Amino acid sequence: MPDYAFVRQTDGFTCGPTVAMVASAALDPSYGATVSDAGEEQHRIHAAASRLWPRKLGTTPWGVAGIISAHTAALGVRYGWRLFRGDLAAAIAAVECDWPVAMLIGAAIPRHWVLIVGHRDGVLECFNPARGVVASIPVADVAARRLEPLGFPRAFALVLPRHVTS
């Protein structure tokens, strides 16, 4: 995964577009090379992903999945979303094969997107677009709702590679 520490979300509503942009750039380097203004690109993605959804409510899981899938179609992979039910096996398998996984987190309600970019020895590496940093989170802490280093305690949904098309 390239170093995206310089990328930060531009406002309180663009964490999802930022995560989608970083994942897309990692999976499609030709797309990444075209992004000259990350803030402008975040807003373009937000508009594209939220056509029927109020932007002030953030970005939906299906919106994030759709943006990433647009950049993985040539690779034969589509991203999809699912509710988080305590199992990270598919997410871990994906990131171990260099497929980033978006995770929607929050407290009582979903509020923030982060991007799982790696896994090693039971620890996830999660890019947090609010700070532009990668935080280390033990896998056990996700199920135990201890994600405070990412800003919120609980995972709600995952956006991950769903199936390979031929």
The per-residue pLDDT string of the chain (166 residues; one tens digit each, 9 = 90 and over) reads 455 556 899 999 999 999 999 999 999 999 988 998 988 988 888 888 877 777 778 899 999 999 999 999 888 999 999 999 999 999 999 999 999 999 999 999 999 999 999 999 999 999 999 999 999 999 999 999 999 999 999 999 999 998 655 4
* Domains (range + CATH), the chain: 15-164 (3.90.70.10)
What pLDDT does residue 58 have? 85
Please indicate, yes or no, whether the overall pTM of this predicted structure exceeds 0.75.
Answer: yes
Q: Two tokens at 119?
A: 């896994």
Report the relative pairing of strands 133-138 and 154-164 from DSSP bridges: unpaired
Distance CA 101, CA 158 (A): 7
Output the DSSP codes for 141-159. Answer: HHHTT--GGGTSSEEEEEE
Single-letter amino acid, residue 119: H
Locate 56 and state its tokens.
Answer: 């002030």
Which amino acid, one-letter code, is at 85? R
Two tokens, residue 68? 């990433």
At residue 60, φ and ψ (nearest 5 deg) are -75, 160
For 105, half-sphere exposure in the C-beta direction (CA atoms, 13 angstrom radius) is 28
Structure tokens at 78: 């589509």
Q: Whole-angstrom Cα distance, residue 135 to residue 114? A: 10
C-beta neighbour count of 157 within 10 angstroms: 20
| Secondary structure (3-state) at 67 | helix
